[in-house]
Amino acid sequence: MSASLAVAGLPEIAVLGTGGTIAGTATGDPSLPGYTAGVLGIGELLHKIPSLSQWTRIHAEQVANIDSKDMDGALWSRLAGRVAHWLEQPQVVGCVVTHGTDTLEETAYFLHLVHRSDKPVVLTAAMRPATALDADGPQNLLDALRVAADPQARGLGAVCVLHGRIHAARDVAKISTHAVDAFGSSEHGALGELIGPRVRLWRRPDAEPGAPFAVPAASQWPRVDIVLSHAGADGSVVRALLADPDPPALRGLVVAGTGGGTVHARLDAALQQAKAQGVRVEVASRVGPLRGDAFDGLSAVKLRVRMQLELAAVQQPNAPPLV
């Protein structure tokens, strides 16, 4: 479904809704927790923002309406296709995606790695449901639209705009389960900020080795799992994954290691067995971004996204990109 709130001659922005708390409603007291994510449509979220039609023309499309804990590769393929479709329209200057906060950083990094346009993709979310007295969604959505329309955002790829700050897809992570200011950009810091309607950029994101990647077809996402190293980690999870009779077969494992990427000796033995069976194994840290390795700065969840795209490219080396 796509709808246009049209005023001719203004910068055009595509706004794609996928759900999350930003589209969530609470049934009881709106100041209390207890709500359902992904209820309101993208048109309803846009109508909460005053004066939009005075400075932009919006193309609104509902791609999904889910709690982002349930995000998966098939929906990522569809979302990337719709983003590419809108960015190919000459009159569209950028794309905004509304999303849940829980997997926002994974979707952002995926869209960044497959991005083929000079125009920006700006993801935003909210910590409070749309029906809360002090909902943060409308301001975040307005800020995301301002960034998408700003010429400085050209060439940024996919970024996240939350609580007045602009975060790089590679660096952004949810760091609080409850604060309104719930996102950070590790030691690198945010890319910039919004001061009222003004966008200030302090730095630009680093280039991503190997990007842009092709978008896997919905049914062609390689299976990659994440295992955690911890006291007593004995590798039984890895052995169970290797023995799992249900296709698709395991293609890769990302280990969220301890400290600087160390792994319990017994888990390591099982990982060696996985490698011997052709499973690709890479190590991140459960503490935060690892320094100085090939995947500098990638959390386990983002390393998983990158590995899936790399494995999909090996799987179908001559497949044309879907976007």
Q: Are 116 and 160 in contact (CB under 8 A)?
A: no
Strands (E), the chain: 2-5, 12-19, 25-26, 35-36, 57-66, 92-98, 121-124, 158-162, 165-168, 173-174, 183-184, 192-195, 198-201, 223-228, 250-257, 280-285
Q: Are 130 and 25 in contact (CB under 8 A)?
A: yes
Question: Residue 74, class by beta-carbon neighbours within 10 Å (0-12 exposed, 13-18 middle, 19+ buried)?
Answer: middle
Complex with ligand SIN: residue 37 or 191, whichever CB lies closer: 37
Q: How far is the CB of 291 from ligand SIN (least distance, A)?
A: 29
Q: How far is the CB of 67 from ligand SIN (least distance, A)?
A: 4
Other CB atoms closer than 10 Å to residue 101's CB: what's the count?
Answer: 22
Characterize the bridge pairing of strands 12-19 and 57-66: parallel
Q: Are 257 and 283 in contact (CB under 8 A)?
A: yes
Please give the structure tokens belonging to residue 299. 């959390």
Q: How far is the CB of 260 from ligand SIN (least distance, A)?
A: 30
Q: How far is the CB of 103 from ligand SIN (least distance, A)?
A: 6
Closest-approach residue to ligand SIN (CB)? 100
Tell me the residue type at 171: D
Complex with ligand SIN: residue 19 or 205, whichever CB lies closer: 19
Nearest alpha-carbon partner for 57 in 95, 15, 5, 121: 5
Complex with ligand SIN: residue 159 or 267, whichever CB lies closer: 159
Write b or e for each residue in 165-182: b if 16 or more Cβ atoms lie within 10 A of its Cβ, otherwise e.
bbbbbbbbbbeeeeeeeb
Q: Please identify every residue annotated as catalytic.
A: 21
Summarize as ranges the residues that interact with ligand SIN (CB under 6 A): 19-21, 37, 67-69, 100-102, 125, 127
